Structure formats: C-alpha cells, structure tokens
C-alpha cells in the first residue's frame, strides 16, 4: 500500500514541476485564486502552510489538514476588499480516524452591479454583474510517521456581464513534521518543527470566454514553508511564494495564545516591495468558551457539542487603506457528561 502511494505521489510531483516550469513570467491570471480566505493565516502575514490551521489549510495546504486528524469544524469568513469588493468563504473540515481528513469550501467574490452608460455618460438603463465562485474539495492524510500529503480539486466559475465561463484546478501539498523532545521540570514535553511544500494550481483549464487563444491561465505558485511550535500556545511560521507570473514573495508571522480564551497574531505579508507599512498584519481570536449541546446520549452519558470562536485580521496596504477580515468558527466535540454532585447535609452525632 505504501509503495503504491509513493508511486502516485511521484507522478503528481512530476506533473507539478512540469506545470510550473511551463508557465513563465506573466502567464498567470485569475487573481481571484490568490485571495487568502483564512483569518488565522491572514493575521500571521499569510504564512502557515506548515501549520495545522484547521479550515485555513483547505486553501493553504491540504496536507496540513492531516495534522489534526480528529478535527471537525465549520467556518465562515467575510473580507472587505477594495472599492466595495467583498469576499465570502464557507468551509467544513471532517476528520475520520485511520482514513484522513476531508474538507470542503465555497468562495464567492462579488461587487455591486455597474450601471452602464453610453459614450456621453448617459445611463442606458442596463447593469453589469461581475462575480467569481470557487468550490473546493480537499483531502489530507498520513503517508508514514511524520510525513503527510494532501490534494484538493477546485471548480471555478467566472461571470462578466453576459459572459460566463467554468474551469477547474488542483493543488498538491506535503508536510514533514519533526518531533523534538524537551525537558520541562520533572516532565518531558515536545515541540514541533515542520517543513512544507505546496504546488498551487498545478493542473487547470484556465478561463476562456470566447476565443480559445485568449485564455486566462490560473496562477501556478510553488509555496515553501517552515513552522516551529516551541510550546502548545506559541507558533512561528515563514513561507515563500514562487509564482510563475511575478517575483518571490515572503510571509512571516507569530501566533500566541495568551490564555484559553484569547490569542494575538502579528506578521508581515509581501516583502517584495520593501515598503514596511504596506505589509503589516495583525489579528486576534476570541474564544468565549460558549458550549452548545446538540446531541446527547443519556444512556452512555456522552454529549456532543460545539464551541465557538471569533477571528479577526487586518492588513496595511499603504495608499489603499486597510483590508479587514472577520470569521466565525464552530469546533464540534464530544465527551462524557459531567456528573452533578449532590449536596448532602451532614448530620452531627455528637451530643
């Protein structure tokens, strides 16, 4: 079984390399596919392909889904882009023991309709609708101890007025985790050092409206990353993007859970322009520890419930202002019900 998986992975990696080097500068398009939907990653400067960032990993690196094999999570995020452009993202992650972790997402980039005018600037009474839609199905699994792989398949639809076109694309990712032993007082604890590689849009049709020779190719990007988690509540990450249609881009960030209910993030996104204020990213998570039971088994005293979390991130963009993101997470858990201790009165027998 392992040899079969290795052969399949070798073929996929070969396809990834061919797709990247067949592109070249200026051959990519469809910038919609470059928009980062994950709020945790956004607060860390867009880094995190080597971290298990839950639903963020569907877009970042499907292999990282396998780092949390028991995760079950619903996720919704909203992004305020420039010029009234908005981005909605809905995702769900579901881990199945000994099989792997599956994920699915739906992205919708939209803007208000444009009112058309003639050459004299007089409204014609007609409007123009523009939007992009992406449906993404992902899987992440373990190859052997410390080595994980993942793949996703994306269906894309673009509408520009009376014209519409469909296409598909695919990503392939890997994570290698090193477990480091460290002494903490009388006990032994572990830290983790992860390395990752992702090949985004390695296979795809691009978008064609009318002329097949006028194709809008999907942007092929090689992502390389590393992450270090010295403790359970702290993570550092650095990623490098190598796109086929532009220069190398660097992402870096840190995440620190100051308590079980509050986390701060900071990072830098896009050090290719060397203009510091345009890449600063900040974010936080607020976990109110709101538990909602939705399915209980009284006989076995097992309760199923979900916990909510709110994520927020912003990015400085210089003259373009600030880009803001907000998300709601729901983590589905199960566990034994806590027994209610009855308060018994103590009766004194002394005289």
58 has pLDDT over 90: yes
Residue span of the structural domain in which 41 resides = 2-255
Work out the average pLDDT over 177-197. Answer: 82
The reported pLDDT for the residue numbered 49 is 96
- Assess if residue 299 is contained within a domain: no
Structure-token match 């538990």, residue found: 291
The reported pLDDT for the residue numbered 124 is 74
- Assess if residue 333 is contained within a domain: no
What pLDDT, in 10s, does the model give residues 259-292? 989 999 999 987 555 455 678 999 999 988 777 7
More confident residue, 339 or 68: 68
Domain count, the chain: 1
- Assess if residue 320 is contained within a domain: no
- Assess if residue 239 is contained within a domain: yes
- Assess if residue 349 is contained within a domain: no
What pLDDT, in 10s, does the model give residues 199-245? 999 888 887 777 666 777 888 999 999 999 998 899 999 999 998 87
62 has pLDDT over 60: yes
- Assess if residue 210 is contained within a domain: yes
- Assess if residue 278 is contained within a domain: no
Strands of the chain (E only): list them: 72-80, 86-96, 100-110, 114-117, 123-128, 130-144, 147-160, 163-184, 187-204, 221-231, 234-243, 249-257, 262-269, 280-286, 291-297, 302-316, 322-336
What pLDDT, in 10s, does the model give residues 66-103? 998 888 999 999 998 766 788 999 999 999 988 999 99
The reported pLDDT for the residue numbered 302 is 62
- Assess if residue 183 is contained within a domain: yes
């Amino acid at each position: 079984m392992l040899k079969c998986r290795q052969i399949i992975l070798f073929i996929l990696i070969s396809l990834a390399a061919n797709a990247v080097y067949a592109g070249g500068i200026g051959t990519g398009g469809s910038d919609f596919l470059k928009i980062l939907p994950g709020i945790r990653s956004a607060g860390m400067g867009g880094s995190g392909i080597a971290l298990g960032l839950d639903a963020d990993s569907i877009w970042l690196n499907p292999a990282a889904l396998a780092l949390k094999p028991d995760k079950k999570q619903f996720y919704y995020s909203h992004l305020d882009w420039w010029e009234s452009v908005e981005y909605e993202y809905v995702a769900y992650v579901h881990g199945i023991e000994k099989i792997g972790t599956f994920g699915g997402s739906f992205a919708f980039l939209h803007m208000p309709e444009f009112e058309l005018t003639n050459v004299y600037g007089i409204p014609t009474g007609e409007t123009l609708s523009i939007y992009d839609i992406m449906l993404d199905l992902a899987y992440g699994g373990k190859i052997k101890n410390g080595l994980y792989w993942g793949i996703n398949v994306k269906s894309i639809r673009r509408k520009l007025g009376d014209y519409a076109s469909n296409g598909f694309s695919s990503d392939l990712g890997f994570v290698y985790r090193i477990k480091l032993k460290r002494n903490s007082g009388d006990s032994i604890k572990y830290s983790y050092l992860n390395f990752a590689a992702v090949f985004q849009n390695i296979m795809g049709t691009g978008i064609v409206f009318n002329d097949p020779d006028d194709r809008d190719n999907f942007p092929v990007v090689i992502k390389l990353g590393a992450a270090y988690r010295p403790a359970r509540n702290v993570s550092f990450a650095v990623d490098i993007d190598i796109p086929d249609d532009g220069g190398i881009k660097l992402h870096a960030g840190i995440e620190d859970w100051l308590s079980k209910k509050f986390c701060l993030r900071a990072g830098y996104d896009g050090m290719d322009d060397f203009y510091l204020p345009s890449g600063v990213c900040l974010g936080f998570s607020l976990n109110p520890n709101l538990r909602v039971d939705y399915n209980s088994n009284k006989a076995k005293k097992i309760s199923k419930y979900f916990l909510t979390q709110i994520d927020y991130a912003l990015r400085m963009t210089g003259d373009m202002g600030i880009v803001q993101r907000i998300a709601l997470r729901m983590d589905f858990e199960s566990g034994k019900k806590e027994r209610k201790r009855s308060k018994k009165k103590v009766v004194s027998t002394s005289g």
